[in-house]
A and B are shown apart, each in its own frame.
Chain A
Amino acid sequence: MDFISQNLLTILILFPVFGAVATLAHQMFWKQESQLKWVTLGFTIVNFLLSLILVAGRGAQSANGFLYESNTPWIKAINTNFHFGVDGLSLWLVVLTTFIMPISILSTWHAVEKRPTAFYVFLLLLESAMIGVFVSLDLLVFYLFFEASLIPMFFLIGIWGGDNRIYAAVKFFIFTMLGSLLMLVAIISLYYLHLDQTGVGTFDYVTILHSLEVGKLVFAGSTGTLLFLAFALAFAIKVPLFPFHTWLPDAHTEAPTAGSVILAAVLLKMGTYGLMRFNFPLFPDASREWAFVFIILGIIGIIYGALVAMVQPDVKRLVAYSSVAHMGFVIIGMFSFTEWGMQGALYQMLNHGISTGALFLLVGFIYERRHTRQISEFGGLANVMPIYATIFVITAMSSVGLPFLNGFVGEFLIMIGMWKSAILPVSATANWNYISTMLAGTGVIFAAVYLLWMIQRVFFGKVTNEKNRTLSDLSWREIGLIAPLLALMVYMGVYPRPFLDTSEASVKAVQERVMHQAGGTVAKNGPSEK
């Protein structure tokens, strides 16, 4: 037991790799492709159960404020280590990753005919990389995992995707690669800056942060801003922030269901997580300076994503554009630099993972039956598939942000955070924080428009297309894999405190780091403020 708890994060990363090896071995020796999914499912479920130890063990922190911290030397020459650890920012994201994996694998039960071995191996490697991203505290290791997650997804889209899969896969690859290369440059610069100023080169996040805090490492001139932008570009593309979003609808639409679910639920979160983990604490001054740009782009994303989602003829594209809108909320929440906004943003990351993940699953169900996702092909489905329709409506309501479902808590906290923010200018005639919130708030209206309009056309009315008359309602497997998501939607909407309380300390630390650096020019918010 001690071994597990001391190396839990390493185990979480490596276990899926063992799973991939096991899958390959199983294929080599038994040649029973139909059993592969069971092997994969088994590994992901065990990994999920292991990750629950994280939840049970939250509370006992290391000196650096991290849980389950471990530090294994890797390349001594450049002083890079496998430094892992979770805190309030990453804990639930790791659990979200391990939680969404078995569900995505269950969703592929009958969908993968082409080369299943490779498919499952890629899924498992992807899991490994994603967990690595969330727990790495070494910048170089983080970068490697960040890039490594690209490759399985590239193949998942490129091989098992829809008709236009090559275009989508390449576009996805180019966009994300472009940003992350700049981030690599920034990471290496940090190494040398640290080397120059302190005599020790390091990629270690905790060390660099500490050097910054005590003033051993100082960014002269525009260095901080340039580094901030290099990191931010990589993350902004991943989020994706308007106007870097156009890879997303293509990637989502062409990806197989499992790919879309993972993309929406976890991969996009890497961007927002990276901003919160690295950009804010490392470059607080630049973060504040550039916040207005991100807030503006976030607001544009909210409105733009919603308007474009409204006119999509394809259900999956519609959901993809809705992601742009939702992630816009996360961005403005984070850049409000208030406890409410940042807590809300973190919570909304989980919510978006669950709700949008569920929407992609649901779209996948109907695609397996009809092999089309065009809204105009459907109509009156509620008559034929009542259970499906019910679940879809609940999920959509969660995405719309109906109170007592998860989306509301996150959106509300984000908006109140933006409203009370001190990051945008306040003049005698206009408080731009208020105005930003009001504009972002219109996203709440548009969300209802595009989702309900789609529901109206797909589910209500009479069955107009003969092909839909004989569709079967959801199977027990399908209900079973969507049910945990539904349960979470309600639980997280009604009782969000376990999640919010866990992240409170970490979020406060980041928020204070960003706002304290202001040298008193920007008031710090909190209960004391009146």
Chain B
Amino acid sequence: MSKQKLLEINNLKQHFEISRGNVVKAVDGISFDVYKGETFGLVGESGCGKSTTGRTIIRLYNATDGNIIYDGVDVHDKKSKKDLKMFNQKMQMIFQDPYASLNPRMKVSDIIAEGIDIHGLASSKEERMDRVIELLETVGLNKEHANRYPHEFSGGQRQRIGIARALAVKPEFIIADEPISALDVSIQAQVINLLKKLQKEKKLTYLFIAHDLSMVKYISDRIGVMYQGKIVELAESDELYSNPIHPYTKSLLSAIPLPDPEHERTRKRIIYDPSQHQYNNSEEASLREVKPGHFVYCSENEYKRYKAENQ
């Protein structure tokens, strides 16, 4: 592929010790790459480790094991403050809950300008304000909104303020952690289209975390399906939707409702039973390339079977 790797994740593990001897393996050895300018979607059920993956990538958590390489540099062994600041500027995050992600006691202008202040991106008060107004207009708000407090805005407006805050530091890579799941459907499209527009204009790369499969398909170039801390299938989004291989992906896709009564009447839910794999100790399950660009988490035996099925 001619595409340039922007983010490379190798065998990332994130374990939380709840109490002595009780470890939750939120993310358990995942690897994937994100290419420059693409949108990589990460889907899976609640609690499968999607958000934890995003937060570990942006260093909100310290990884238990594995490495995250951004633009050729390992993210987790950054040492100098200057490097850290550079990294914070390049990678930003959009959060899930628009009501919790804005400080209720700060004005919108101060919320958006927080990154500008931290990174010293404005030399004067006027420049700072100009930048805030510019960002507000980028996300479809206007300068009258700058002096208001978050509680005066609707969910969609707040989410756009959150996007403006992330954009303030001119990032290259944005982790969108379920940015639309707390919004109602009409607003979801508005926010998604805004994200798409920004991607085109500012050449952004997204890691898009969600559980709404149709939205993920709409925005993503490639999709990784997560299940219990592992990526079970990874492929281009059209390929994944038209030709799912892993039984969990099949089950997940069978759950998408369509606004078509004909189809709904015949739609059968496929229930995923993890015991069907019957992995032995001798055969190690891992992510294997069944088709070019289409990876499935499987054992050697399964790999042969999948390969035969997908010729």
B partners with A: no
Partner-A contacts on B (CB < 8 A): none
